[in-house]
């Protein structure tokens, strides 16, 4: 039964992931590496930025036990202006990731 | 970074500083980017985290897609002290929009995630509590 004229579906990611596991992995890997690369080039001082594989996909992490102050740099402190380097990197890469996912959805 | 972020700053300031509840809590201490060295606490501060142009098919930018961190900062060990301020900020800007006095357009402002940060410096504790808001802005 059709009871609406407009439907926005947000339920196909699992289907895409099941049908194109290698392609999804490649998109996420390249995306996380690009975010890491862009953030690393903007990161002040020696804050290390690395992309790494996790159980569910990939993550990009800034800082280490020695360089723990990435959050203070990104968001600012009481006496220090914020100098974001992670968020701009992620925001600049996300649109392309979404477009790539959308292309996969079209061939389902 | 572009001039549209300046209009977003103007909208944030005019919206927040006009509210009697907020001014009762922080007086006139609303700061973009950085608070003065000797600013009293608490205060409200916002920082631009990201700004990306929204384009159509052509070369022109339609509007700017910004992420702002809007937070209350206090010389305290308790986030609870800052909660009334951040709740009021949320009531004033989340899901809101409008034009600046100069006619620039804030199409929307919507909260995306919460934020908190503890800071300990020279034996003094500070707390930052707020949220990240996505603001779409267009020059009028």
Cβ–Cβ contact A96 with B under 8 A: no
CB contact under 8 A, B47 and A81: yes
Tens of pLDDT, residue by residue over B119-140, are 998 999 999 999 999 999 998 8
**β-bridge partners, B53:** B64
Mean pLDDT of chain A: 87
Quickly list DSSP for A10-51.
Answer: ---HHHHHHH-HHHHHHHHHHHHHHHHHHHHHH--TT--EEE
CB contact under 8 A, B50 and A91: yes
Q: What is the pLDDT of residue B61?
A: 86
Contacts of B40 (CB under 8 A, 6+ apart): B27, B29
Nearest to A78 among B47, B49, B119 (CB): B119
Degrees to nearest 5, angle at CA A91 with A87 and A92: 120
With beta carbons less than 8 A apart as the criterion, state whether A32 and A59 touch.
Answer: yes
Tens of pLDDT, residue by residue over B69-99, are 999 999 999 999 999 999 999 999 999 998 8
Cβ–Cβ contact A72 with B under 8 A: yes
Q: What is the pLDDT of residue A77?
A: 92
CB contact under 8 A, A91 and B128: no
Provide the whole-model pTM.
Answer: 0.87
Q: What is the pLDDT along chain A (108 residues), one digit of tens a residue?
A: 556 677 777 788 888 889 999 999 999 999 999 999 999 998 877 788 989 999 888 999 888 777 778 888 899 999 889 999 999 999 999 989 989 988 998 887
Which B residues in the span 51-110 are in contact with A, Cβ-Cβ below 8 Å? 52, 67, 69, 73
Q: What is the ipTM of this complex?
A: 0.84
Backbone angles phi, psi at B92, to 5 degrees: -80, -30
**Does residue B1 carry a pLDDT above 50?**
no
């Amino acid at each position: 039964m059709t009871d609406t004229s407009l439907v926005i579906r947000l339920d196909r990611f699992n289907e895409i992931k099941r049908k194109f596991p290698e392609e999804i992995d490649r998109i996420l890997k390249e995306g996380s590496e690009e975010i890491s690369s862009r953030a690393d080039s903007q990161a002040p001082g020696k804050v290390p930025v690395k992309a790494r594989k996790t159980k569910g996909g990939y993550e990009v992490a800034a800082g280490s036990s020695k360089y723990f102050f990435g959050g203070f740099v990104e968001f600012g402190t009481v006496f220090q202006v914020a100098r974001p380097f992670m968020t701009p990197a992620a925001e600049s890469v996300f649109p392309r990731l979404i477009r790539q996912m959308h292309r996969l959805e079209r061939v389902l | 970074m572009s001039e549209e972020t300046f209009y977003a700053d103007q909208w944030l300031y005019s919206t927040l500083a006009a509210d009697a509840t907020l001014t009762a809590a922080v007086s006139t201490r609303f700061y973009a980017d950085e608070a003065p060295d000797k600013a009293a606490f608490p205060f409200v501060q916002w920082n631009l985290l990201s700004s990306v142009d929204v384009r159509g098919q052509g070369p022109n930018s339609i509007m700017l897609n910004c992420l702002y961190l809007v937070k209350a900062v206090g010389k305290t060990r308790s986030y609870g002290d800052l909660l009334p301020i951040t709740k009021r900020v949320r009531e004033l800007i989340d899901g809101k929009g409008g034009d600046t006095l100069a006619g620039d357009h804030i199409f929307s402002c919507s909260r995306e995630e919460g934020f908190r940060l503890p800071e300990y410096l020279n034996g003094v504790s500070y707390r930052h509590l707020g949220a990240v808001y996505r603001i779409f802005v267009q020059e009028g």
